[in-house]
Copies of this chain bind each other. A is one copy, B any other.
Amino acid sequence: MSAQNKADDSGGCILWFTGLSGAGKSTLSTVVADYLQENGAKVELLDGDEIRTHLSAGLTFSKADRDINVRRIGYVARLLARNGVIAITAAISPYKDVRDEIRATAEREGTPFIEIHVNCDIDTLAARDVKGLYKKALAGEIQHFTGVSDPYEPPTKPEISVDSGRQSREESITIIKEYLAERVIAKKTA
């Protein structure tokens, strides 16, 4: 059934948040999900932690297992998006090649892939350290901690880029909303 593998024309897309732990992916993606729902979109937020629970329990944080986890998120996001849903993902997704692979597959199916880089310098993250993880990672108590003992490969051409180390939350939200108002919401209601 080829029809199943093509996006319908009802405005589904993937909003792919990527960035270090604590940079603000969950907070921003939740605000964005509410905003899009208020504007009449069907939205599903695939949070990194939720996906680990439902789809990837047992996987480690090795590169191989992270890649599997991120591909699973991509698979589910594509299923939703090609049925008219705005699928929002908010996992660290540290490796550029896997993100680009998901983008390529989605775009081949006619699904727009909007990458949102939530940047934040490591000093700010370590100082903020909401979950106390950076302290442990910097002390060597957590292995495979992205940005400390594991690589993070930032997007080279993200559709949207915000910096929670330099901007207020409101500033970051405004940047994202402005893009979405023009490219996503306007398209849905056109």
Q: Taking beta carbons and an 8 Å cutoff, which residues of A are in contact with B?
A: 1, 3-4, 8, 30, 33-34, 37, 42-45, 54-55, 57-58, 68, 71-72, 75-76, 79-80, 83-85
Contact = CB atoms under 8 A, between A and B. Distances in A.
Nearest to A43: B4
Contacts of A3: 37
Given A54-B72, A55-B76, A76-B79, 17 more contacts: A1-B30, A1-B37, A1-B45, A4-B33, A4-B37, A4-B44, A8-B42, A44-B79, A44-B83, A55-B72, A55-B75, A57-B68, A76-B76, A79-B80, A83-B84, A83-B85, A84-B84
Nearest to A76: B76
Contacts of A85: 83
Interface of A is mostly: helix
Nearest to A38: B3
A47 B75 CA distance: 14
A80 B45 CA distance: 12
**3 closest Cβ pairs, A-B complex:** A54-B75, A83-B85, A42-B83
B34 A1 contact: yes
A24 to B, nearest CB: 17
A183 to B, nearest CB: 21
Contacts of A54: 71-72, 75
